[in-house]
A and B are shown apart, each in its own frame.
Chain A
Amino acid sequence: MAELDDAETFETEVDATVHEEARLGFVRRYIFSTDHKVIGIQYILTGLLMAVVGTLLAALIRLQLGWPAHQWTLVGRLLPGGMSDGVMTPEFYLALVTMHGTIMVFFFISYVLVSGFGNYLIPLQVGARDMAYPFLNMLSYWLALVSALVMLGSFFVTGGAAAAGWTSYPPLSAVASAVPGSGWGQTLWILSMALFIASFTMGSLNFVATIFSLRARGMAMMRMPLTVWSFFIAAIVGLLAFPPLTAAAVMLLFDRHFGTSFFLPSGLVVANQLLPHQGGSPLLWQHLFWFLGHPEVYVLILPALGIACDILPVFTRKPPFGYRIQVYCLIAVGALGMVVWGHHMFVSGMSPFSGEYFTLATMLITIPMTIFGVNMMASLWGGRLRVTTPMLFTLGVIALFGSGGLGGLFLGNATADMQLHDTYFVVGHFHFMIGGVTLLGTFAGLYFWFPKMFGRSMSELFGKVHFWLTFIPFFTVFFMQHFLGLQGMPRRYYAFTTYEYLQRTSGQNLIISIAALTLMAAQLVFIANFCWSLRKGRKAEANPWRATTLEWTVDSPPPHGNFGRALPVVHRWPYEYSLEGSDNDYTPQIVSPRQAPVTA
């Protein structure tokens, strides 16, 4: 009975905090809050602000590639450090690509999609009053904020921000004299990542404990919405993959500041000076980094797919195709994703036998991922489509997931990857999947849950305009980058026009730059819509989309403690749409079997 006692004490504890919350002042309620909904929204807003920074960095990158050596006097005046006479320095360009990648991957997608939506949705969707350990949750957010501030602060130290790429390969990241960004910028990068990992670990521990222990009565594992499943798998994968990177980061700090040689080989010459290090191997960093780096992409993409799978049934008015198979696919992808990191290292001198193994394992992953994608398409079959803004973005997710996934077939195969490695093909593929699927998934989620979060709806018209102005330029930019890669254009090259064989790609780069700047400008539509709807949007009722999951059974926005006096009791799976024998075309999870038949 121990666990029942525990559940009861938890109930009383939460009751106490709920009453306390009501009496708390503004600061404790909305700033240092332990309420998962406030924390989720804090994460989302922080992530969106970081996205603005990441976008501006991308704009600078595209200015350089679209118009190489052009003198941008005005921009130069704003950024005297990096482009004093209006022309970017190569060092600044390296810092730009590094920070764009780091900020977008860890501080935008991870914050908004995983931590933001995860915190907001998990307790609401499993029928809990809060996360298992609300205080740890609050700590997780504040560490995340400090981590973001440290990362932003690294722009302003001597030598500028880190410039070793988001992968921080040594020796560039380990030898302080390598490039200006290898100095303080790199140290702050490592410290910020350490804070980020600590914060992410706290968040994930909460996700896992909450989903295991605090599901409402009747919410069996196989009755959880796919969104919750995807957060669950993502949290587990994150918990398993991040610690080795922590270990590697500690070793990198030691190499930088205490003279060890974990990642530095003997006889290394940097800036005409022989370094005293001996015996280490930069390949060790690559292994430890990619042991995190590859699972990390699943941590980011699975929630986007889960959210898409949950939005589809609402706007097709039918259950998703193959719910159980989708769950098994998520689990399979999570497990396989842990053992394929070597496909990022095919050109590192890896033994062909290892290469063969990593190729095969990577190809194996395409099976559950393809099933997942095809099931999403099959979910549209026979549905009564309502093409709202969230639905448009969800369809965009499917489109990008399908076309981006094809690129993965080439990169996961050692033979093809030898040609394509470190070219724009990789950039294009990566942005389709971890840029596009997650970005569109984020927008789908924002438009879909905005009424729940803020009690008002976003404008549909502006939402649709935003979708088309996002999707078309996005597809143009990264589809074309695949072809740049096939023509041999390497990534991270500052002045590609100095190579004769790349000079003919100038026109393509110009088009990409124009499309990219259009894409960025289009986000102003979203920002305007977001801000306007916060104040003036149409008031939203509890269930504006006529959806079935638990969060739609409470007010918009939900009160502290989420569910009033009694926790909900769940009687059915989350996808009872167009049920025969029911008056409505949707049956929420809390409707008892006496009122409508239960299908799963």
Chain B
Amino acid sequence: MDFALTDEQQDLQAAAARLLADRYPADRVAGLADAGAGDPDAWPHLRRQGWCDAELGMVEKGLLALEGGHALAPTAWWSTVGLAHPVYRAAGAEVPSGPLTLAWQDDPADGSDRARGGCRAVRHRDGWRLTGVRALVTDATAAVAVVVAAETGDGVALFTVPAPADGLTVEPQPTLDRLRGAARLTFADTPGDLLVAPDTAGRVLADARRHGSTLLACEAVGVARRALELARRHAGDRVQFGRPIGAYQAVAHRLADSYVTLELATSLALRACWLVGAATGPATDAPGAAEVEQAHAEATVAGRQAAVRACEDALQVTGGLGATWEYPLHWWYRRALWLDCFDTPTTTHLATLAGHLLAARPSPTGPTA
């Protein structure tokens, strides 16, 4: 076993970190967030550095996601590569070269009224047309095409809809994390091309969501790392009672515990990436579905814990400064809160794990049961 990054992986991560540090210093991130906008010019830079390459391995993508969280890079990379690319690739379709996203969630405003919510696709002589609503769609305003899950009558299928398009309304909604906004997409007889038919669409959609959220576990690690860095710097600089506050155990030990949570999450996020990558690889001893599902749940739970905790510890350590709008920490905290609740809830991940762990009574190996 060799659970260490290769030299190539380290180089890739360092180059990504340099690009992002260059383009997105904290004040620029704060400025873009204030305006509620992403970086409109990000795409060529990311493409040039290979962020969208088809041959990127899962661990490599995880490292990019980690650096993206660290910089809070205001780009649509995660929605594109994390969510949309796996669908186009599974469909064997050509992958559009611009920013993309995936729309599969119902509008929470519709509550349990499934008749009102959702999105339907109807086949006409000249192709498919979509009608209905998809909500909480990430990075939709930047997307050149949207992958849409829609009910066909034979089950849910996946379609691609170019943006902008006739009959497609993209309506951004105010969000806690302004750098990963949500949009409500309304379809009114909108033409779309079938990507994945109902027989496999359920699996492809689940795989894409798992692919995306494994990367989010890495992004969470990056968010935690940045929050800890901000807190560390402040604890070394800020002097009270004649000493830097980091020289007080109450402060130092809080940050040490934050570091513990960060390292646990780092290990589980990288492991989940490796397993997701290995599960789709050619090896005969590829990990099984249950192992991948559990690793994904473990990484997500640990990543969320680390990101929220590191931000909250940093908010405490940065004191009054951290409570201001000007100090940028709250933008990372907002991302941590987004990560903590986006898609599958933590309670569901824990239930998944408990299901595996408590399915049967383990047989004793030792002397006492």
The answer to whether A and B interact is no
Q: Which residues of A pack against B, CB within 8 Å?
A: none
Q: Which residues of B pack against A, CB within 8 Å?
A: none
